[in-house]
């Protein structure tokens, strides 16, 4: 099952007789290529031992919210960040109620609150507990919030009754968990995103930079990871945390960003250059702080390497998306960049006076080339397609951008 290869599945086990089945589930998830870490509630340990789960998962089992040993190495936040998906199987009626009401009184409920990876529950309980209006209200509430419910199945129950409430069988749960990843439009692709400003040193304490906050690039990296990509984010100095499941490489100068991006191009499928890379840097780096002895100082500048153009010119270039930050003639300048750097797409935005840089919202106009044969009579700077992504919060805009990139990327695959 390809979708689960190298996926990090956090398996939560709550108290119920079906807990014994989570041992088989762990083995099958690993057989499908997933890495499994197990978190058990106290009640779960009454039904199956942590040692069994440890042996089958190949990892230490996490039991306590305030375990000093676990806290030092991988507390609930680290576990939440680690997971590509959380599957709670079996999920008891009590656990569903806790989750629905945001209670966080043990490790599993706390990390579910702290986790933004897809969350799925495999309910298992007596049929009357399942059909109880309280449980059904909780189910509806959880589903409305995007929690996926796998089952329950109907049939003979451990308590001797027959009805709905059995945990779905392990193999089916593995397939349903794989389905959590199948929907990603960039599933399994390697995406490199650049974000933030660069700093070009003048002397040991001064530099040339710009107003980029990194918000646009970080939102794009998060949206690509959400779409199933393996994302590497090459980031200039910003004050933002790395998005979940994104590998961040911190750099400072354009030269360092160039090195880091190029070093990650070997298996890269898509490169998105959202960074505001300095076009010029001081020709000379002063060894000591420049003194204010003279009334005027001139700074000789030289060009920095063009990262985007270098990526697009690689022999096996990835699908390359550039940005164009413009204060005038947006379309003409953006199309010129698309053609000059032989990009697959350019995302143009107006910048200055509170727009583009350091704002929480943005708007983009996308331009892309069509195969020359379809547009042979059109001047090179007028060829291709375009699309407006209207003014919206950068995280929403980033998702829309990723969806268009994914369409264009896959369309290109078919040509
Ligand atoms: O970070 P935020 O505060 O959220 O702001 C977002 C943003 C305005 C920075 C972003 O939306 C944006 O427009 N990024 C590109 C900024 C820019 O440098 O544009 P440009 O038109 O000067 O450069 C064109 C393209 O060439 C960009 O993809 C840039 O990354 C790339 N470039 C530029 C110079 C260089 N030496 N190497 C490059 O790769």
Rg (CA), the chain: 26
**Is residue 137 domain-shared with residue 232, that is, in the same domain?**
no
Q: 174, 1 in Cβ contact below 8 A?
A: yes
User: Is the distance from the beta carbon of residue 109 to the nearest atom of ligand 1 less than 6 Å?
Assistant: no
The CATH number linked to 396 is 3.40.50.10300
Residue 99 counted as domain residue: yes
Ligand 1: centre distance to CA 276 (Å): 4
DSSP 3-state assignment of 114?
A: coil
User: Is the distance from the beta carbon of residue 351 to the nearest atom of ligand 1 less than 6 Å?
Assistant: yes
Residue 242 counted as domain residue: yes
Please write down the long-range contacts of 331-338, taking CB distance under 8 Å and 24 or more positions apart.
331/365, 331/367, 331/386, 332/381, 334/365, 334/367, 335/367, 335/381, 335/382, 335/384, 336/381, 338/367, 338/368, 338/369, 338/384
Ligand 1 nearest atom to the CA of residue 324, by list position: 21
**Is residue 365 domain-shared with residue 407, that is, in the same domain?**
yes
Burial class (CB in 10 A: 0-12, 13-18, 19+), 267: exposed
**Is residue 390 domain-shared with residue 293, that is, in the same domain?**
yes
pLDDT at 406: 93
- Say whether pTM exceeds 0.85: no
**Is residue 169 domain-shared with residue 107, that is, in the same domain?**
yes
pLDDT at 376: 56
Determine the Cα–Cα distance for residues 368 and 387; give it in Å rounded to an integer: 9
Burial class (CB in 10 A: 0-12, 13-18, 19+), 329: exposed
Catalytic, out of 112, 115, 159, 268: 159
Ligand 1: centre distance to CA 277 (Å): 6
* Domain termination residue (choose one: 144, 178, 212): 178
Domain that holds residue 262: 190-414
Residue 349 counted as domain residue: yes
**Is residue 203 domain-shared with residue 346, that is, in the same domain?**
yes
Q: Give the alpha-carbon dihedral of 33, 318, 403, 232, to 10 degrees.
A: 60
pLDDT at 53: 97
pLDDT at 127: 93
pLDDT at 373: 52
Determine the Cα–Cα distance for residues 140 and 276; give it in Å rounded to an integer: 44
Ligand 1 nearest atom to the CA of residue 346, by list position: 28
Q: Is 159 a catalytic residue?
A: yes
**Average pLDDT by stretches of 10, the chain with 415 residues:** 85 96 97 96 97 96 80 70 93 98 95 90 95 94 85 84 90 88 82 98 97 97 90 97 88 98 97 98 95 89 98 97 97 96 97 91 92 56 76 88 92 64
pLDDT at 4: 87
CA distances, 8 to each of 79, 178, 384 (Å): 10, 11, 40
């Amino acid at each position: 099952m390809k979708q689960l290869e190298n996926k990090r599945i956090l398996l939560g086990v709550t108290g119920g007789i079906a807990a014994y089945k989570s041992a088989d589930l762990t083995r099958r998830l690993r057989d499908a290529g997933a890495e499994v870490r197990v978190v058990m509630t106290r009640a779960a340990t009454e039904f199956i031992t942590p040692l069994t789960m440890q042996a089958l998962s190949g990892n230490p089992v996490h039991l306590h919210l305030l375990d000093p040993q676990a806290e030092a190495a991988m507390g609930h936040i680290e576990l939440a960040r680690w997971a590509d998906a959380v599957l709670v199987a079996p999920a008891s009626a009590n656990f569903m109620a806790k989750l629905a009401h945001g209670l966080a009184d043990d490790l599993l409920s706390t990390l579910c609150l702290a986790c933004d990876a897809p969350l799925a529950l495999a309910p298992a309980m007596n049929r009357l507990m399942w059909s109880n209006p309280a449980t059904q209200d909780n189910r509806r509430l959880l589903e409305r919030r995007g929690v996926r419910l796998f089952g329950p199945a109907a049939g003979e129950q451990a308590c001797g009754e027959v009805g709905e409430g059995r945990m779905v069988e392990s193999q089916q749960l593995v397939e349903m968990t794989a389905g959590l990843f199948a929907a990603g439009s960039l599933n399994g692709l390697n995406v490199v995103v650049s974000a933030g400003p660069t700093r070009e040193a003048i002397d040991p304490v001064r530099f040339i930079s710009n107003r980029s906050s990194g918000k646009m690039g970080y939102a794009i990296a998060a949206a690509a990871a959400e779409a199933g990509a393996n994302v590497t984010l090459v980031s200039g100095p910003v004050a933002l945390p790395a998005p979940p499941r994104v590998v961040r490489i911190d750099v400072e100068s354009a030269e360092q960003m160039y090195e880091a991006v190029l070093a990650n191009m070997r298996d890269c499928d898509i490169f998105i250059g959202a960074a505001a890379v300095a076009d010029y840097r001081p020709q000379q780096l002063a060894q000591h702080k420049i003194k204010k002895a003279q009334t005027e100082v001139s700074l000789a500048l030289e060009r920095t390497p063009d990262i985007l153009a270098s990526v697009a010119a690689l022999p096996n270039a990835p699908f390359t998306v550039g940005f164009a930050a413009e204060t005038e003639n947006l379309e003409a300048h953006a199309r010129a960049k698309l053609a000059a750097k032989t990009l697959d797409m350019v995302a143009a935005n107006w910048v200055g006076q509170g727009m583009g840089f350091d704002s929480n919202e943005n708007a983009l106009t996308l331009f892309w080339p069509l195969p020359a044969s379809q547009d042979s009579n059109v001047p090179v700077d007028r060829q291709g397609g375009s699309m407006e992504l209207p003014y919206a919060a950068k995280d929403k805009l980033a998702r829309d951008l990723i969806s268009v990139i994914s369409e264009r990327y896959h369309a290109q695959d078919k040509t």
